[in-house]
Structure 1
Amino acid sequence: MHKQRLVIAGSGSTYTMGMMMSLIEEKENFPLKEVVFYDIDEQRQERNAKATEILFKERYPELESFSYTTNKEIAFKDADFVFVQIRTGGLPMREKDEQISLKHGVVGQETCGPGGMAYGLRSIKDMIELVNDIRTYAPHAWILNYTNPAAIVAVALKQEFPDDHRLLNICDMPIAIMISYAKMLNIDVWEIVPEYFGLNHFGWFTKIYDKSGNDHTERLKSRIIDEGFTPEDTEIANDVSWQKTFEQARQMLMDFPEYLPNTYLQYYLYPDQMVEKEDPERTRARQVIEGRQNRVHSLCDGIIEKGTAKDADLHVDIHGVFMVKAAASLAYNLNERFIVITENNGIISNLPEDAMVEVPALLTANGPKPFAIGEIPTFYKGLIEGQYAYEKLVTEAYFENSYQKLVQALTLNRTVISPDKAKAILEDMMEANASYWPELN
């Protein structure tokens, strides 16, 4: 089995240590000869890298090489895979996005509504530059992109790189939800065979089967409604915000019982309730800064200080395992089923051909082979078309430097609706993002 040269782009991320544990967990299925960290933030990267170096010596001694760099050529040359998880502007800009949105009485969230728009406009430029850099030094590498907001980024990358068939945008939210389904059904999450359709962070499970063909959908719905719904992934299980999010998913199922919803739909279906729950001085970004970021930094510092990861509170998370298993399926033509983002091209027959939809697909050495969905009901079609129009307008606004298209995008978005609010939010967002956004006209 060919051993891979893997690059982690954005290795200063707070998710990196979980990813490294996932590489160790899956090393028989996705064997590596070399891991390289790449980040433009040398300090954030170094903390993760020094801790990872110790971790690999103890738990992945067969790895031939581990290194970290801020040099693009050193990082990407001859890479087989690049996992991308960058955050332009970092958590401080995420916090500003959320605070500005809440100031105007609309949802303050990383990927939804005005926050998603702001983050998307920041991300597009850096993602295009990064893909070009990777292709300069590794023309045939698989690029697996986790960077948010994945929906907007996917649309922009498809426009910029229409013929790059080894660039795949993926998101772990469906599998994170499926972990909770698996716990309720008392089966392994990798035994679940889901049917699903939508856009990223904007979709529904239509059926939940197991690999023996048993249909658990109605049983699962009944249990969620009767017993409640809680997060089970180790990264979010004890997070109060995520616990409330899963509670809201139960309410969504009660209000719209046809399909099982992605949790992010709460922001679009109940935007006023979401605003009422938020505190501008204690946004989700602030919770992450004081929670996961501090925890991961302390964890890494402890490993470095002790010179061992033996007693460190490290665990495998679904964020990493999903990425690694998807990469293995691509690398070794395993034809395993994953929910991924891909161009529609008739998959959902009554949606635009160019929409970047999120659907189940077999991952092969020649890329994703998505399953046909066919027509979807009017309610879901209407919601998706409005959301996709928003995503497409944000992308067009970036390439055309169009203020008007951003006003249109926010007016279409279910978290805003009002043109007056859209304009007021944009003025504040433009000022906050002056060094990141294109100059609008």
Structure 2
Amino acid sequence: MKKQNLVVAGGGSTYTIGMIMSLIAEKENFPLKSITFYDTNEDRQQKVAEATRVILREKYPELESFSYTTDKEKAFTDADFVFVQIRTGGLAMREQDEQIPLQHGVVGQETCGPGGMAYGMRSIGDMIELVKDVRHYAPEAWILNYTNPAAIVAEALRREFNNDNKILNICDMPAAIMVSYAGILGKEVFDLVPEYFGLNHFGWFTKIYDKEGNDHTDTIKNAITKDGFMPEDAEIANDPNWIKTFKQVERMLNDFPEYLPNTYLQYYLYPQEMVDKEEAGNTRARQVINGRQKRVHELCDQIIADQSLENVELEVDIHGRYMIRVAASLAYHNCDTFIVMVENNGIISNLPDDAMVEVPAMLTKQGPKPFSVGPISTFYKGLIEGQLAYEKLVVDAFYENSYEKAMQALTLNRTVVDAPVARQILDDLIEANRDYWPALVARKEREFAIN
């Protein structure tokens, strides 16, 4: 089995330590020759990387090489796989994305609604540049993208690199939900085989089978409606915010019992309730800054100070394991089934061919082989078409520096709907993102001066 050269782009992420522990846990399935971290923030990356060096020394001594860099050529030359988890603007801008909509009575969330639009329009340019850099130094590398908001980023990459068959956009949320299904069934998550359709953060499980072909869908539904639903993945199991989110699945299933929902649908189905439970001074971003980021940085400091792992507890999470199992199936032609984002091309037969849909696919050396879904019924089609139009308009707004397209996008989004409110939020987001959207800022100011 060939050993792979892996690059983690966004090496300073708070998820990186979990990714490293997952690589160690999965090293028999995805053996590595080298790991390289790449990040544009040298200081942030150094802390995580130096802690990683200790972890690898103790847990992965057979690894031939580990390094970290801010140099693109050093990072990407000879790479076989690039895992991408960047956050343009960092958590500081995420906090703005969440606070600004809340000030106008609208959902404040990093991937949904106005916050997702702002984050997406910041992410697109950096993602395009990153892919071009990887292709310059590693033309044949697989690029596995986790960067949020994945639906908007995937649409932009589809337009920019339409003939590049080695870019795959992935989200771990369906897998994190399946971890809880597995807990209900007393099984391991990778023993489950899902049927699923939708867009990223906007989809439904229609069936859950095991590898022997047994249908467990009704068992899961009955367990959720009777006993509720709780997160079980290590990264989110004890997080009060995620516990509330998973509890909403019971509510969604009672209201719409046909399919098992993705947890993110709560923002689109109950937007006012989501607003009412949020505090502008304590958004999810602030909770992450004071919670996971603080915890991870303290853990890294402890590891670096001790130069050992004796005083820390490290866990494997689904975020890393899912990405690695996907990579292994692509690298070694395992033909395993995973939920990924692909161009529709008739998979959901009554949606546009150029939609970036999230569906199960068999992953081979040649790439994903998605399974047909067929036509979907009116309710789901209507919801998806509205969300899809919003996502496409956001990408249009980025490419055209168009205030009008951004305004149309927000007005279409189910978390906003009201046009005057959409305009107020958009104006505030443009002001907050002056350093990231200079062309859009200039165009808006020019057009408003003329009017």
Given the two structures, how large is their TM-score scaled by the length of structure 2?
Answer: 0.97
- 1:281 is paired with a residue whose SS is helix
Name the aligned partner's letter for residue 258 of structure 2. Answer: E
Contact 1:2 1:31 survives alignment (8 Å): yes
After the TM superposition, which segments of 4 or more aligned residues of structure 1 sit over 4 Å from their partners?
none
Question: Aligned partners of 2:44, 2:313: CA distance in 1, in Å?
Answer: 20
Aligned match of 1:302: 302
Question: Aligned partners of 1:311, 1:62: CA distance in 2, in Å?
Answer: 23
Contact 2:229 2:250 survives alignment (8 Å): yes
Contact 2:302 2:311 survives alignment (8 Å): no
Alignment of 1:212 onto 2:243: no
Question: Aligned partners of 2:76, 2:272: CA distance in 1, in Å?
Answer: 45
Aligned match of 2:114: 114
Question: Aligned partners of 2:439, 2:420: CA distance in 1, in Å?
Answer: 21
Question: Aligned partners of 2:336, 2:35: CA distance in 1, in Å?
Answer: 24
Contact 2:7 2:81 survives alignment (8 Å): yes
Aligned match of 2:447: none
Aligned match of 1:89: 89
Alignment of 1:375 onto 2:375: yes
Question: Aligned partners of 1:224, 1:206: CA distance in 2, in Å?
Answer: 15
Question: Aligned partners of 1:127, 1:416: CA distance in 2, in Å?
Answer: 27
Question: Aligned partners of 1:158, 1:229: CA distance in 2, in Å?
Answer: 35
CA-CA distance at 1:310 after TM superposition? 3.1
Aligned match of 1:64: 64
Contact 2:330 2:365 survives alignment (8 Å): yes
Alignment of 1:169 onto 2:155: no
CA-CA distance at 1:219 after TM superposition? 1.4
Question: Aligned partners of 1:249, 1:301: CA distance in 2, in Å?
Answer: 37
For structure 2, list consecutive stretches of 5 or more residues without a partner in the other structure.
Answer: 444-451
Alignment of 1:195 onto 2:195: yes
Aligned match of 2:257: 257
Question: Aligned partners of 1:334, 1:12: CA distance in 2, in Å?
Answer: 30
Matches within 5 A, 1:40-51: 40-51=40-51
Question: Aligned partners of 1:124, 1:109: CA distance in 2, in Å?
Answer: 18
Question: Cα deviation per residue 1:55-81 (whole Å; 9 max; x = unaligned)?
Answer: 101110000000000000000001000
Aligned match of 1:293: 293
Alignment of 1:399 onto 2:399: yes
Aligned match of 2:343: 343
CA-CA distance at 1:35 after TM superposition? 0.3
- 2:337 is paired with a residue whose SS is strand
CA-CA distance at 1:336 after TM superposition? 0.3
Say if 1:296 and 1:153 are closer, same or farther in 2 by CA, change over 3 A.
same
Question: Aligned partners of 2:280, 2:401: CA distance in 1, in Å?
Answer: 29
- 1:156 is paired with a residue whose SS is helix
CA-CA distance at 1:313 after TM superposition? 1.4
Alignment of 1:230 onto 2:221: no
Question: Cα deviation per residue 1:326-384 (whole Å; 9 max; x = unaligned)?
Answer: 00000001000000000000000000110000000001000000000000111000000
Name the aligned partner's letter for residue 279 of structure 2. Answer: D
Question: Aligned partners of 1:18, 1:97: CA distance in 2, in Å?
Answer: 26
Alignment of 1:431 onto 2:436: no
CA-CA distance at 1:438 after TM superposition? 4.8
Contact 1:401 1:438 survives alignment (8 Å): no
Question: Aligned partners of 2:258, 2:430: CA distance in 1, in Å?
Answer: 40
Aligned match of 1:144: 144
| Number of aligned positions between the proteins | 441
Question: Aligned partners of 1:127, 1:101: CA distance in 2, in Å?
Answer: 25
CA-CA distance at 1:311 after TM superposition? 3.4
Question: Cα deviation per residue 1:230-270 (whole Å; 9 max; x = unaligned)?
Answer: 00001000000000001111100000000000000000000
Question: Aligned partners of 2:361, 2:265: CA distance in 1, in Å?
Answer: 22
Question: Cα deviation per residue 1:363-411 (whole Å; 9 max; x = unaligned)?
Answer: 1000000000000111000000000000000001100111100110001
Alignment of 1:422 onto 2:422: yes
Question: Cα deviation per residue 1:97-125 (whole Å; 9 max; x = unaligned)?
Answer: 10001001000000000000000000000
Contact 1:398 1:438 survives alignment (8 Å): no
Question: Aligned partners of 1:360, 1:345: CA distance in 2, in Å?
Answer: 14
Aligned match of 1:353: 353
Aligned match of 2:449: none
Question: Aligned partners of 2:176, 2:252: CA distance in 1, in Å?
Answer: 17
Overall identity of the aligned pairs, in %? 69
Name the aligned partner's letter for residue 120 of structure 1. Answer: G
Question: Aligned partners of 2:309, 2:50: CA distance in 1, in Å?
Answer: 11
Given the two structures, how large is their TM-score scaled by the length of structure 1?
Answer: 0.99
Contact 2:386 2:413 survives alignment (8 Å): yes
Question: Aligned partners of 1:37, 1:192: CA distance in 2, in Å?
Answer: 32
Question: Aligned partners of 2:75, 2:179: CA distance in 1, in Å?
Answer: 34
Question: Aligned partners of 2:130, 2:314: CA distance in 1, in Å?
Answer: 30
Name the aligned partner's letter for residue 379 of structure 1. Answer: F
Question: Cα deviation per residue 1:177-202 (whole Å; 9 max; x = unaligned)?
Answer: 00000001111111101000000000
